[in-house]
């Protein structure tokens, strides 16, 4: 891991010094123990702030899109001859690179506007599991050494293996290496048990419908509609989200349970074949809504119905933007003859 970090800093420094990129989006040490936070590096001197460790959580593709989108917008107000290109370097793990692929595919920016610094990933620390380890107390100090996490709280010291604290999506990740990268740093063996990917979905599918509805209702009741999940999602980049549109008003803003359910349903439905299971939405959710249980189903459907894996190839379009004449028709309603 340290080698990766060192290499990453060197590469970022080089890119910035040679003016190949205007900014590098990466992670720096967070203000709290055992955290890392996204950062924007614009000068070679700052590159030493970059870190790469299991505390790097959020999917950085979101920031790449935001930066480039703002830049494109700003350039519209500049005379054509004075327009300039902005290039963003980004530290990308497997899921981040897949989000970048989705954004490239959806023509949000050109391949020449990004430089991907690929990093190997063994999964990241789940904040909620860490909080559980600390028994809900504030983590005063924390350290990671030899695959063990040690936290110090006011009532004492606790420890656990890193593997037990990894996020659920990391435990079943297929993509420990980025799918595309301009510069690749380091290599690690995959740790994930990818074949178990859809186990929780299958288990949920086998529950009776009423139990599934009860679970959905319970989870959605927690949601306070802060839209943090949307704001952090790299696939949610509409300038005006349906949730905030007023003409037409797609979803009411009332306190009725169905409004929240519809908001979440629709946001999730937009993720068919576009969710890379980066876990950012679950990580930022202040209410701990189990979004992954539902998003993973869409991922499974996209894979099983349309043979599509989100963000894996630059050529294959998102499943709902394409069709095959041979697509399944089992769900089509057939009336009984003469009925």
Q: What residues line the site for another protein (CB under 8 A)? A: 204-205, 209-216, 242, 250-252, 254-259, 261-262, 265-266, 268-269, 272, 294, 297-298, 301-302, 305-306, 319-325, 327-329, 331-339
249 vs 109: CA distance, rounded Å: 29
Question: Which DSSP string corresponds to 191-247?
Answer: ---GGGTTHHHHHHHTS-HHHHHHHHHHHHHH-----HHHHH-TT---SS-TTT--T
Phi, psi (5° rounding) for residue 305? -80, -45
Distance of CA 94 to the CA centre of its chain: 10
**Lookup result for tokens 């057939």:** 334
153 vs 138: CA distance, rounded Å: 6
Give the shortest CB-277-to-another protein separation in angstroms: 16
Strand-pair category, 23-29 with 114-118:
unpaired
Phi, psi (5° rounding) for residue 71? -65, -45
Phi, psi (5° rounding) for residue 92? -125, 125
260 vs 252: CA distance, rounded Å: 9
50 and 28 Cβ atoms separated by less than 8 Å: yes
DSSP SS3 for 125: strand
191 and 107 Cβ atoms separated by less than 8 Å: no
């Amino acid at each position: 891991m340290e080698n990766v970090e060192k290499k990453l800093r060197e590469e970022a420094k080089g890119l910035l010094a040679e003016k190949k990129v205007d900014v590098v989006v990466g992670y720096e040490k967070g203000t709290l123990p055992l955290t890392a936070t996204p950062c924007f590096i614009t000068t070679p001197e700052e590159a030493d702030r970059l870190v790469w460790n299991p505390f790097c959580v959020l999917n950085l593709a979101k920031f790449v899109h935001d930066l480039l989108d703002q830049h494109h917008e700003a350039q519209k107000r500049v005379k054509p001859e004075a327009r300039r290109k902005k290039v963003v370097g980004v530290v990308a793990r497997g899921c981040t690179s897949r989000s970048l692929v989705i954004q490239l595919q959806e023509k949000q920016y050109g391949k020449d506007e990004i430089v991907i610094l690929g990093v190997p990933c063994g999964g990241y620390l789940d904040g909620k599991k860490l909080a559980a380890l600390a028994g809900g107390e504030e983590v005063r100090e924390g350290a990671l050494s030899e695959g063990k996490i040690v936290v110090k709280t006011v009532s004492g010291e606790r420890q656990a293996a890193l593997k037990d604290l990894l996020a659920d999506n990391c435990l079943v990740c297929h993509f420990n290496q980025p799918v595309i990268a301009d510069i690749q740093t380091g290599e690690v063996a995959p740790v994930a048990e990818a074949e178990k990917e859809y186990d929780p979905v299958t288990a949920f599918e086998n529950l009776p419908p009423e139990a599934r509805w009860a679970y959905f209702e319970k989870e959605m009741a927690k949601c306070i509609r802060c839209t943090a999940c949307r704001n952090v999602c790299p696939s949610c980049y509409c300038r005006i989200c349906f949730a905030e549109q007023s003409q037409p008003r797609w979803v009411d803003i009332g306190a009725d349970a169905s409004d929240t359910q519809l908001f979440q349903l629709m946001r999730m439905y937009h993720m068919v074949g576009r969710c890379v299971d980066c876990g950012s939405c679950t990580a930022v959710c202040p209410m701990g809504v189990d979004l992954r249980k539902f998003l993973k189903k869409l991922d499974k459907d996209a894979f099983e119905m349309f043979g599509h894996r989100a963000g894996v190839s630059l050529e294959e379009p998102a499943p709902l933007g394409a069709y095959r004449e041979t697509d399944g028709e089992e769900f089509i309603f057939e009336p009984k003859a003469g009925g």
